[in-house]
Amino acid sequence: MYRMLLFLACFGWSLAVQSQQAAQSSLYMLNPYHWNPAYAGMDFSLSAVLGFRTQWVGLEGAPVTQYLNAHVPLEIVHGGIGIKAENDQYGAERNSWVSLAYNYHLALGPGTLGLALGGGLAQRTLDGQKLRTPEGFYLDNILDHRDAILPQGLAQGMTATFEAGVFYQTEFWETGLGVRHLTAPSIDLSTFQSPLERTYFFQLGFHAELSRALSIHPAVFVRSNLVQTQTDAGFRVRYNDTFSVGTSFRGYNASSIDALVILAGLKLSERLQIAYAYDVSLSPLKQVNNGSHEILLAYALDKVFGAKKLPRLIFNPRNL
């Protein structure tokens, strides 16, 4: 157990120095605005998403994430606006951020193009009491890392952060590229500067009717800081716009293979939907964890605020 705690502490510290990429998610197909501000208003509905994820269950110090976002189309400003927030805790580190965005909608060909800018605040907290170093002294309630940089207690800081994105949506397919921490700012944690890495999110999805009752929705999701890259590829099959099941695979080579995802969704009412994903671990960590769980609630009001008239085509691929 001590070796495992030491590993987690060192793992958390290395992430704190190098800055973690965005928190993991297996329900990316149902939550595009979280990754790309240029999706704001693209549902042509007031839409809100609330999610919770616990990763690598059974592994002490493993990531736990909560996220929340809402966006709405506003014809009066020729686009949409949105707000999003995330809280990600892993090991000794906690990352929280909130961002507001404006998305300009432009009719282009058979679909709609979104161009967005957003900004907000990011906070990072490092709990020095959860860290351990090979040279440190940790006996009789004495905590001494014997390191001039590592904090003995809580260290936290905050900075402004910006995001941007482009998203194009048609009735049958959609694609987008979002950039988080656009200026790659750093957070001052007193004894050192902790950078927020500029991270890119690419999405590609398709929608096809198999019958009057069945439809299929393949999707690809790529996250990268241009040093490390991770991919997800999967699909959902939807029945009568009420129930959906699907799967996704995370990884693209021997060193990046992480999990096989099984997911399902259910429409609880005309406005409320729920989705759940379970990750079957495939990486070496599978020996010390029991998989990952994620649950998502989605709400849609089906109302366009400030609209002069509705668009000629309303297509919402988020329906479960």
Provide block-wise average pLDDT over 10 residues at a time, the chain (320 residues).
Answer: 40 40 90 97 94 95 96 93 96 95 96 97 90 83 81 90 98 97 93 92 96 96 95 96 96 94 96 97 93 97 59 51
CA dist 300 → 49, 99, 167 (Å): 9, 20, 20
Q: Which residues contact 319 (CB under 8 A, 6 or more apart)?
A: 238, 241, 267, 273
pLDDT of residue 8: 44
Phi, psi of 61 (to 5 degrees): 85, 5
The answer to whether residues 257 and 279 touch, using CB atoms and an 8 Å cutoff, is: no
Residue among 162, 157, 233 nearest 189 (CA): 157
Q: How many CB atoms lie within 10 A of CB 3?
A: 7
pLDDT of residue 119: 98
Q: What is the CA radius of gyration of the chain?
A: 21
- Residue 272 pairs in a beta bridge with 299
The residue length of the chain stands at 320
pLDDT of residue 21: 60
Residue among 37, 48, 35, 31 nearest 81 (CA): 37
- 2-300 belongs to which CATH class? mainly beta
pLDDT of residue 118: 98
pLDDT of residue 303: 64
pLDDT of residue 20: 46
Q: Which two tokens stand for residue 165?
A: 């994105």
Q: Which two tokens stand for residue 53?
A: 């994820």
The answer to whether residues 139 and 132 touch, using CB atoms and an 8 Å cutoff, is: no
Q: Which residues contact 134 (CB under 8 A, 6 or more apart)?
A: none
Instruction: Please give the span between the terminal C-alpha atoms of the chain, in angstroms, as a whole number.
Output: 42
The answer to whether residues 127 and 162 touch, using CB atoms and an 8 Å cutoff, is: no
Q: Where are the alpha helices (DSSP H) in the chain?
A: 2-18, 32-35
Alpha-carbon distance 249 to 261, whole Å?
6
pLDDT of residue 142: 82
State the pTM of this model.
Answer: 0.88
What are the residue boundaries of the structural domains of the chain, listed by start? 2-300
Alpha-carbon distance 152 to 57, whole Å?
28
pLDDT of residue 9: 41
- Angle at CA of residue 64, ends 59 and 68, nearest 5°: 165
pLDDT of residue 310: 44
3-state class (DSSP) for residue 126: strand
